Chain A
Amino acid sequence: MGKISTKDVEYVAGLAQLALDDAAKERLAREMDEILSYMDKLNELDTANVEPMMHAMEMTNVFREDVVGESLPREIALRDAPQHDGEYFIVPKILDTEGSA
C-alpha cells in the first residue's frame, strides 16, 4: 500500500457523501494510489516562482447590473423535485445542525 490507505478513502468518501463497501474501498485505494503516483511526476518541475493559473480567462470585472428579472413559476421550480408539497421542497429529517452561512 502506497500513498492512500483504505482509511483515507473512507475519509474522502465521507466528504463526498459516498458509501463504499470494503471491496470498493480497497479497489479505490489501489486505483487512486496508481493515479496519484502518476500525478507525482509534477514534483519534477520547480514551480516556486510560478503564479497558479486560477482562472482560464484573463478577464476581470464581469458584472450584471442590479436589476430584478423574472423568477420561475413555483410549479416549474418544484416540478422535478422528488418530493414537494406545492410550496416547499421536502427533505427527510435533518439531524445535524451544522451548515448555514
Chain B
Amino acid sequence: MEYEAVIGMEVHVEINTKSKVFCACSTHFSAPANTNVCPICLGMPGVLPVLNREMVNKSVAAGLALNCTISRWSKLDRKNYFYPDMAKNYQISQYDLPLCSNGHLDIEVDGQPKSIGITRAHMEEDTARNTHTLGGGQSGVDFNRSGVPLLEIVTEPDLRSAQDAYAYLTALKQILQYLDVSDCNMEEGSLRAEANISVRPKGASVFGTKTEVKNVASFSGVMKAIEYEIKRQVELIESGGAVEQETRGWDPDRGITFTQRKKESAHDYRYFPEPDLVPVVVDAAWEQRIRESLPELPLPRKHRFMEQYGLSDYDANVLTGTQAMADYFEAAVQADADAKKTANWIMGDLQALLTEAKADISACNVTPACLAEMIRMINDNTISGKIAKEVLAEMFVSGKSPKQIVEEKGLVQITDASAIEGIVRQVLADNPQQVEQFKAGKDRVVGFLVGQVMKASRGKANPEKVNEILRNELAK
C-alpha cells in the first residue's frame, strides 16, 4: 500500500527584544549563569509581570508576515506544570485567545508553490536552562533564559514530507530574520522546532495516530527525524502493529527517534487567565502602523528579482536568502553593475570568501559599490576575470577599492598586441617540443601554451588576445 505522511510543526522562536518579556533583565545570550536575573524572572515571592510593548509589536509583525488575523482582544494565561526550569511553576502563555491566528505561509518545494496553514502564533515566556553536567546526578539551573520572550508558531497539518518541513522552516526563518524579529539561531536555541507526524494510506481522509518529535538541534536533523519517523510508522503498520501517541526524541548519532513520554502521562495544564496582566488590545490603527513598517518579504522579493533582473529561480532564491544578501545585491546593481554578473560574483567568489572567514555579508569589507566597480573593470577589459578574483580577495581583506588595488599591484590587463606577441614568441621559443606536436596535428597543446603565456604575463595578458596571437604565430 502507498502511504502519505501528515505533518504539523510547532516552532518556538525567541523574540529579539533587548529586555525580557515581563522584566527589565537583558536577553543577552552568552552572559555568565544567573547574572541576567531579577526577582521577577526568578519567580520570587511578591513579584508581578509587566508585558514588554516591543514583544507585542514584534509578534504582530510576525503574525502579519504570516498572513494571520491579529486579535483585537487577546489575553495571557497561566499554564501550570512543575519543572525546575520554571521559575513560578507556571508559564505565562496564551491559551484560547492567541494574538495571531488563521494565517498561512507560502513556500516552494522543488519549484512548486505550496501554502502552509498557520493555526496560531502566541506570546509566551521562555524557561530557564537546566544543565545535567554536574556530579552526583545533580543538575544546575541557570535562569538567564527565564522570561526571554517566545513566540510559538503552530501550523495546520499541511506538510506532507520532510522536504516540505525543511522548506517551511527555511521560509519561516527567512521571514523572521527579514522582520528582525528573531535571530532564529538553532544552535543558541533561539529557534526550536517540533514535528507532529502521522501516516495514512494515500487518499484517506482520516488522520493516523501521531507522534511528536522534539529536541532536534538543526533543520537537517528535523528532516532526518521526520524521514526516519515516517519510515518507522509505515513499517510498524505494515507489520501489523499500531502507532502509539507519544513524544519522541531524536538521537542524531544513531539517526533514530526514541520514546520520551507516553500519552498516559499527558499533562493537565490547568490554564486560566493571568490575573496579574490586563488584556492586550491591538486596534486597527496599531495593526496598520506595524503593517506599514514591514519590509518586502523574501518570496515576493525573489519573484521581483527574477522579473526585474532576469535572474534564474535558483539565483533569485539564493540572493533573497537573507535580507542582507538581497540588499547587498540590489545596492551593487544600483551602482551600475550587470545584474547577472553581480549575482555570479556574490554567489561564487564572495560567498566562498565569506564562508571561509565565517563572516556575514552585512559586515563585509567589500562594499556593493566596490564590487560593482570591479565588475565594470572586467567588462571594459581593465582586468581579466582571473585577476578580478585576486582583486576581490584583496578587497575582502583590506577594504580598498578595486582601482586602488589594481594600480598598486600593477594588475592592469595587457591588451597591447605587440607586448603580447613578445611574450608569445618567447614561450614558443622555450617550448619547441610542443610546437612540434602542434604541427603534427595535436591541437590540444594550444591550451598548454596559452597557460604558459598567461603564467609568463603573471595573469595580466588578455586571454582572448593571447589565443588569437598564439594561433597566428603557430600558423606562421
CA distance A28 to B343 in the complex (A): 74
**Which residues of A (26-41) have their CB < 8 Å from a CB of B?**
none
Chain A contacts for B130, CB-based, 8 A: 91, 94
The secondary structure that dominates the A interface is loop
Asked if residues B132 and A94 are in contact (CB atoms below 8 Å), the reply is yes
Within the complex, the shortest CB–CB distance from A75 to chain B, in Å, comes to 10
Q: Measured between alpha carbons, how far is A94 from B131 in the docked complex, in Å?
A: 10
Q: Which residues of chain B in 379-398 are interfacial with respect to chain A, using CB atoms and an 8 Å cutoff?
A: none
| Chain A hits for B38, CB < 8 A | 69-72, 77
**Stretch of B18-26, B303-311, B442-450 at the chain-chain interface:** B18-26
Q: How far is the CB of B279 from chain A (nearest CB, A)?
A: 5
Interface-side segment among B140-148, B161-169, B288-296, B327-335: B140-148
Residue in B53, B143, B273 whose beta carbon sits within 8 Å of that of A54 in the complex? B273
Cβ-based interface call for B399 (8 A): no
Taking a contact as CB atoms under 8 Å apart, the answer to whether A91 and B84 are in contact is: yes
Give min CB distance, B98 to chain A, whole Å.
15
In the complex, the answer to whether A90 meets B134 with C-beta atoms within 8 Å is: yes
Contacts known (A66-B19, A101-B91); A93 close to B139, Cβ less than 8 A: yes
Q: Are A61 and B281 in contact (CB under 8 A)?
A: yes
Within 8 A of A (CB), among B255-276: 260-261, 265, 267-268, 270, 273, 275
Q: Give bound CA distance, A60 to B51, whole Å.
A: 11
Chain B residues near A74 (CB, 8 Å)?
32-35, 37
A72 to B143, CA, bound (A): 12
Question: Interface size (B, Cβ < 8 Å)?
Answer: 66
Given A54-B273, A99-B85, residue A68 in contact with residue B18 (CB < 8 A) = yes
Interface flag for A45 (CB, 8 Å): no
Q: Shortest CB–CB separation between residue B276 and chain A, in angstroms?
A: 10
Are A63 and B279 interface neighbours, CB within 8 A?
Answer: no
Is B221's beta carbon under 8 Å from chain A? no
Known: A64-B51, A66-B19, A70-B24. A55 touches B279 (CB 8 A): yes
Determine the chain B residues whose CB is within 8 A of the CB of A99 once the complex forms.
Answer: 81, 83-86, 127
Number of chain A residues close to chain B: CB under 8 A: 38
Q: Is the CB of A88 within 8 A of B142?
A: yes
Is A22 close to B, CB under 8 A? no
Known: A55-B273, A97-B249. 13 other contacts (CB 8 A): A60-B73, A61-B281, A63-B52, A64-B19, A67-B24, A68-B25, A85-B134, A87-B33, A89-B34, A90-B141, A101-B125, A101-B127, A101-B150
Chain A positions within 8 Å of B, measured between CB atoms, are 15, 17, 54-57, 59-72, 74, 77-78, 85, 87-94, 96-101
Name B residues whose Cβ lies closer than 8 Å to a Cβ of A.
12, 17-19, 23-26, 32-39, 42, 50-56, 73, 75, 80-86, 91, 93, 124-127, 130-132, 134, 137-143, 150, 152, 249, 260-261, 265, 267-268, 270, 273, 275, 277-281
5 cross-chain CB contacts under 8 A: A64-B50, A65-B52, A74-B34, A77-B37, A98-B81
